[in-house]
């Protein structure tokens, strides 16, 4: 039903997954091409997406996972890099080393 598409698009919109939300609305419009509500949602989405893209270009850069610890999945705190090149939080690495003297990611010594 169209309602399930609307709910999915709303959820994706809240998650700022604008491209997927747009695809969902377009799929719903194939089922009900005359729906004013769907057309309104699409317009609202495209305006928000456009403003978001403009703001991102002049705003702060997006955060990447490059600085996340692969053990706790948080931003590296007191990072340590192993000889094999993997980085972990100091406490995460030491906890892992209690169990084994190998890199927790690639298992090299």
Quick: pLDDT tens for 28-78. 999 999 989 899 999 999 988 888 765 555 555 555 677 899 999 999 999
Task: Give the DSSP letter string of 21-37.
Answer: HHHHHHHHHHH-TT-HH
Mean pLDDT of the chain: 86
The total number of structural domains that make up the chain: 2
Tokens 């850069």 belong to which residue? 61
Q: Which domain holds residue 77?
A: 65-99
pLDDT the model gives residue 66: 78
Residues 44 and 82 in one domain: no
CA distance 87 to 41: 43
The owner of tokens 């948080």 is 74
If you ran DSSP here, which 8-state letter would residue 45 be given? H
In a domain, 109, yes or no: no
Answer yes or no: is 6 within a domain: yes
pTM beyond 0.95: no
Report if residue 107 sits inside a domain.
no
Question: 69: domain CATH number?
Answer: 3.30.40.10
Q: Is residue 22 part of a domain?
A: yes
Can you tell me the distance from the alpha carbon of 20 to that of 38, in angstroms, rounded to the nearest whole number?
15
């Amino acid at each position: 039903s169209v309602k399930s598409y609307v709910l999915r698009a709303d959820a994706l919109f809240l998650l700022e997954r604008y491209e997927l939300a747009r695809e969902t609305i377009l799929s719903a419009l194939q089922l009900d091409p005359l729906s004013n509500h769907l057309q309104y949602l699409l317009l609202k989405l495209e305006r928000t997406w456009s403003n978001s893209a403009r703001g991102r270009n002049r705003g702060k850069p997006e955060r990447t996972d490059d600085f996340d610890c692969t053990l706790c999945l948080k931003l590296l705190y007191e990072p340590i890099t192993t000889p094999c090149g993997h980085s972990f939080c100091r406490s995460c690495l030491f906890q892992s080393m209690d169990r084994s003297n190998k890199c927790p990611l690639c298992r090299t010594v």
